[in-house]
Chain A
């Protein structure tokens, strides 16, 4: 599959301040997560991709062309920024219609497109005529996403689109994004809710201090992700009995127990065996399980503690 975005030795500095430092990557159609702590260079990357700023050095191609000030490229992408700067006195249909017209749609097509986009992101029609000031953050977030769908873009760049959404809203949004990805669109999405990104994306770009460290990105590569988590935490009625059960099966490498809270932290000798038969093993244990939690997502593990280079 051809790359939609190709960056080679791409750097951007703001005077003495580092934005992006010599990054090379490619993004293909499908869902790609952009992960990194604050100040990692995500916003700089998005502004470079949307042609708002120029690279200091290196090359960036979007749909095979330089996005800087390039209306042809901008007509094929959409950007959902993290910030909310909606006209407070407007209603969603009015705001979206205006933005669609700025994208070159006629007034009639813009209004139709606005309604269609609002329907697609799951904002109930009774909210379409509310002023933004009377809407919840989750509703405004859906409207922000809707403005990306107005002109049928092939590349969507979404900066923290899950912010303010409840779990059901995040699931709905995830379904919309999966559907768009199935249509062949490329979607670049950043979120600080790493579990959501893990569930959503097939590819990841891990940024840290303006760089895309190879070791980090290899650790979240598709082959690395087939490895199971090495430890799991259970909250159950009897951590001792559960530990003995796993031990007798030869699954445990080690464990810690906190009887007062009914917690067992299990480190696996053979994680693939446990996760491969997860449901059967827990049912056959005969022990009431209240909660099962992986100790850290692979993205969390890959990112590790934030510390300067």
Chain B
């Protein structure tokens, strides 16, 4: 029987997609989108007005909600497979574990991007209804910023799920607080370590919310390159670690 590892992507895709298309997942996505629509509607009706819409969206959505939700969905996707009951079916097959992680990330990323595009569509529709200025010019940058943000923080979710399956949220929040928000707000070159800062800079032409530009800051292509390189590096570390650690560590109950 011929066995080709690349076929494994098809299998992982099917299992991942089945979870993403489950009624439970779709209901939670719908709920999230509805909550966002309410928050956005309240903002646009407030004294801030539609003219401050892009700043609001950059500050709350692109540099907080997208990173947080992408991190949680990435770590959650891998953690589901790391539960002993799932691992017994998935990691007792001939596919090397690092390759499994990379295929899983690819499948998850495609589906996560679709979820986040639905959320972004709500933001854009709401802004359009309330006539937010410069919306047409902002849309390409918003789509790019979101796509990169989802890729970066899903990869971070995978890494933290591998390093600490039980406490990944705590470690993730610590990382977010220290590196993303802490370093990201320091007006020195150290803030380049913050990926939310880099995402903010992608949206800088539309708003000043990304923070003041530094001397020697990167071009748009450079910023995209940094985000992609960070994603690739994070995934490689996750795959390397995953290939060398025990998948399940039985407790006394399952000896």
Contact = CB atoms under 8 A, between A and B. Distances in A.
A301 B88 CA distance: 32
Interface string B13-25: 0110011011100
A89 B10 contact: no
A98 B254 contact: no
19 contacts: A14-B251, A14-B255, A17-B251, A17-B252, A18-B255, A41-B255, A52-B88, A75-B94, A77-B92, A78-B92, A79-B92, A87-B15, A87-B19, A89-B21, A104-B94, A105-B1, A106-B2, A107-B10, A110-B11
A99 B92 contact: no
B89 interface: yes
Contacts of B137: none
A81 B10 CA distance: 23
B7 A89 contact: no
Interface of B: 1-5, 7-8, 10-12, 14-15, 18-19, 21-23, 83-97, 100, 243-244, 246-252, 254-255
Interface in A46-96: 47, 50-54, 69, 71-72, 74-75, 77-79, 81, 83-85, 87-90, 94-95
A100 B89 CA distance: 11
A43 B250 contact: yes
Contact of B255 (A17, A71, A94, A109): A17
Contacts of A19: 250, 255
B143 to A, nearest CB: 30
Contact of B89 (A90, A99, A107): A99
A104 B94 CA distance: 8
Given A98-B11, A98-B15, A151 B246 contact: no
Contacts of B251: 14, 17
A104 B255 contact: no
A14 B18 contact: no
Contacts of B90: 99, 102
B99 to A, nearest CB: 9
Contacts of A210: 255
Contact of B18 (A47, A90, A104): A90
Nearest to A102: B11
A52 B8 contact: no
Interface residues of A, number: 50
Listed residue (B15, B83, B84, B255) with the most chain A CB atoms within 10 angstroms of its CB: B255
Given A89-B19, A102-B12, 5 more contacts: A52-B246, A90-B15, A94-B18, A103-B94, A104-B7
B98 to A, nearest CB: 10
A231 to B, nearest CB: 34
Given A50-B92, A69-B243, A83-B84, A44 B3 contact: no
A245 B17 CA distance: 71
A87 B15 CA distance: 8
B95 A71 contact: yes
Contacts of A47: 248, 250
A84 B84 CA distance: 10
B255 A106 contact: no
Given A43-B250, A43-B254, A87-B15, A102 B93 contact: yes
A147 interface: yes
